[in-house]
Amino acid sequence: MKNIYQPSADIKDKSIAYLSLGWDLHNCIPGFIDGLKAGLIHQDTIARHNIPAYLLADIDSFRNDITTILVRNTGYDKIITRSPSAVELLTARNVKTSLKPIKKPSLDTLIKHAENITELQVKLYCPGVV
């Protein structure tokens, strides 16, 4: 994990969108903002999101403004409407990976969540791709 997020002098154009099916969509934008504050977001990514320098100068004070920009840039509101319910997600996450077929409802929920979390993370961390 450290190799994914830590800036490296060897890799100047590093844009990586990491995700886990265990993550919840509503935590992705706050996590990105925490990464901004920690200096872990590539400058090109910040520029592509058009986040003004004055917001970056005091991220804690402007967290809501940065969130608004990222929600707009990623189409978050549209993504979240396609999200599985909390109950569906809990059921799908409890599926055992013992090389047995997954029942269709759980599989459909996992696919839906995977599509949404992937879209959001790519739009956040790799905006040049989309």
91-129 tens-digit pLDDT: 777 777 777 788 888 888 888 888 999 999 999 988 988
> Which residues does 1 contact at the CB level (< 8 Å), separation at least 6?
18
Task: For 28-80, write each residue's pLDDT tens digit.
Answer: 999 999 999 998 888 889 999 999 999 999 999 999 999 999 999 999 999 99
Enumerate the domain spans of the chain.
2-125
CA dist 12 and 104 (Å) reads 43
